[in-house]
Chains A and B, each alone.
Chain A
């Protein structure tokens, strides 16, 4: 069986249309009023709550994003379980117990895909109705297993904690019993996945501080990407909040969460500046 699977070769049927971050960022429209003027059609808060006029549409789109994210997380965890030989964690090897954790995660993600597909159906979404951003799997394509732990288990699954918390609250506020229940259960798994990543990253790099530093730097790069131009963050302009409490339970320190929050804010400001320039250049 092949090792190190490139993103272009992911198996999808013709319902799925894929995109990437470069294409997403080339879209210079903005849900936030970048000129800061008051407009009736734009709400003061962009947070995804049932009060938003487009709440159901936005929730459907996010739910679809969760479903394809789960597919990619399944593929990422499965690859890590397979791509590296069992060993003491040095070089290209990973401890056998880490392989077992990745296999368990792959099974969790497979269950999440099924749950997300059923939730999408419940919300009236067709599979493939929205495009699939493959950036999540791209974080799982490193040749160093420790970088995969940082990119997938800490950054990607950390984002999952934020997203599931937001969706769980959405279900709770809207009174949707299925959404709230399912998101709560999946959230519990994601906290476990992040904790596994945090623990293994520390353990595998225990005697290699340089490798740990490199992994944490990689995680910051990926975390900024996963902010999606400030779509996640603690600002009201971000649809998805930063779930501090659950991140803490998953092994993030306060300093780490503060750093992510700051990067989210930077990503939002950079995105708004880019959009503002593009809109001025286009004369709209």
Chain B
């Protein structure tokens, strides 16, 4: 039987019962749409996390106190007394002879949910206490005013560089703010600059922050014991020197904290290690979401099988007639397989469109609520959904089609 004829017959027999065809297709539509939407949201989350990590810069390392947690592991239990990072640690890393691959060092103190008030408005914000090298390492820029200088850090100056989101909340504008004052933890600060927007990220907006001198932060806003800091940003001399810098920093820290290899009470994160961790987490998330959605596709496939079995019984006489007119078993089989795969292919195509639409809507909702999540419908997901939906049609169509093909012509013709 010619392929064009098979297609034409498939079309006439499916359009003979439009409601039933539509409902069967709907099962597949929902399944495929769910798979596409879930996978694109997962992909979008991965993209935005990756972008955020990339924005750190390819030659930047971050040192923090404590080993990377290993739950229940030997290493986790063996670290008893974690010594915090200090300004002295940061200064040791900045000595070129000890760490030739390190270009710049920036210790920071950070604190979230710090009350901020100005202009009759009050809110909470993230405070970063930094030294001047922070700006170049993190590649920060101001749209107005200037950064503070080393002298202001030395004199514990009460100056601040404000993020655009915080500025909007407090003042209702993002320009002409230099010279304004605000209260941070009930301390008066003078705004000397407005930070250029970095855009939202999946982890929250980095524009709702305020940057002040490290010394001032320690004294007046975020109290820390002695000269302790929360973390140290390191800039390597180049992207290629990142692993060397990592080794040099680790050696310095082990010496200073008197710990053996494998018993570190600090950890060094590079962009590459963050990226691989984040990618594997979001990858698992995407697979998980896709798998859940895949179950609904399976249910849709069972719906096709159900309808095809009913159809075989209903059309027993027709099958008998076709056999009497010369249809071979394989012709009957192909006809029913064509119908079931057409159902699932149609469902797959509509499902791709619907899934794409859903992911657009999710993206809109996400950006309306302040997180930037751009769901990405990848070609892979579309191909996968198409192939998978045809496969579902074939798989769940084979049993009914075989039943149809095996009918004895004599008995089929006699069927009432």
Determine if chain A interacts with chain B: no
Residues of B at the A interface (CB closer than 8 Å) are none
Interface set of A (CB-CB < 8 Å, partner B): none
